[in-house]
Amino acid sequence: MNEAVLETIGLTRSFRQGDMTIQVLRGIDLRVAAGEIVGLLGPSGSGKSTLLQAAGLLEGGFGGSMRLIGREASRLDAAGRTQLRRDALGFVYQFHHLLPDFNASENVVLPQLIQGATRRTAADRATSLLGALGLGARLTHRPSQLSGGEQQRVAVARALANRPALVLADEPTGNLDEVTADLVFAEFLRLVREEGSAALVATHNERLAAKMDRVVRLHEGQLQ
């Protein structure tokens, strides 16, 4: 069996609202192996985004145990979470969240500079990733000068820029029309596979789910 890039045991997450506690994740046991692409399916409100946010270490407030690239995440402080997030993870969201004042190449270069890459290495990698996604002629376009499908492709390149062990994608093509969504999704899967990253991809689209290595189903905060 391949080593795990993500392993949760009894992962829980609840939110307080006034004096009520809403239990959203109710003990998730999930393992994603290196290089594996796993679909996270479930109806709206089942907890997909909450699970990805917990795995993404965006906040510390989860219960149970979670290991990312072999490191236990549950006891890390904010700085430790930031470090592990940078070492292990890439993110693609439903909306691209690109920096509007930077062009496509710069949006892929910046996270690499934060990780200590030289400008030259970072720019070469941005050119290569964007070229692999058919954006070779769009390197100096800003997000507002790109179509929705092109914006999501740049977001995919940015997520892969630092060679993450695991890409977390939350409805990555959910904002695109069906034809564009299928195209961008196919390119996303191809590039993730080429790069050897693993991915955990939330979607409620069964057609897209069928293209992944494996699917897990979330229902009211539990895997079925």
Catalog residues that contact ligand ADP under the rule CB under 6 A: 15, 17, 22, 24, 42, 44-50
Q: Decide whether 56 or 111 has the Cβ nearer to ligand ADP.
A: 56
Least Å distance, CB 205 to Mg ion, is 13
Q: Decide whether 66 or 108 has the Cβ nearer to ligand ADP.
A: 66
- Tell me if 49 contacts Mg ion by CB under 5 A: yes
Q: Say if CB 42 and CB 218 are below 8 A apart.
A: yes
Q: Decide whether 54 or 122 has the Cβ nearer to ligand ADP.
A: 54
Q: Say if CB 46 and CB 219 are below 8 A apart.
A: yes
In a 13 Å sphere around the CA of 90, the CA atoms on its Cβ side amount to: 29
Residue nearest to Mg ion (CB): 49
Least Å distance, CB 204 to Mg ion, is 9
Binder of residue 47, out of Mg ion, ligand ADP, none (CB less than 5 to 8 A by kind): ligand ADP
**Is the CA virtual torsion 189, 57, 115, 107 positive or negative?**
positive
**Is the CA virtual torsion 223, 66, 45, 34 positive or negative?**
negative
Give the span between the Cα atoms of 218 and 170, in whole angstroms: 14
Which pair of tokens denotes residue 211? 């293209």
Stretch that binds Mg ion, among 45-53, 109-117, 119-127, 138-146 (CB under 5 A): 45-53
Q: Decide whether 91 or 106 has the Cβ nearer to Mg ion.
A: 91
CB count within 10 Å of CB 106 equals: 18
Least Å distance, CB 93 to Mg ion, is 10
Least Å distance, CB 62 to ligand ADP, is 12
Q: Decide whether 42 or 111 has the Cβ nearer to ligand ADP.
A: 42
CA distances for 20 relative to 3, 44, 45, 54, 201, angstroms: 39, 21, 18, 21, 30
Helix (H, G, I), strand (E, B) or coil at 96: coil
Stretch that binds Mg ion, among 11-19, 42-50, 129-137, 213-221 (CB under 5 A): 42-50
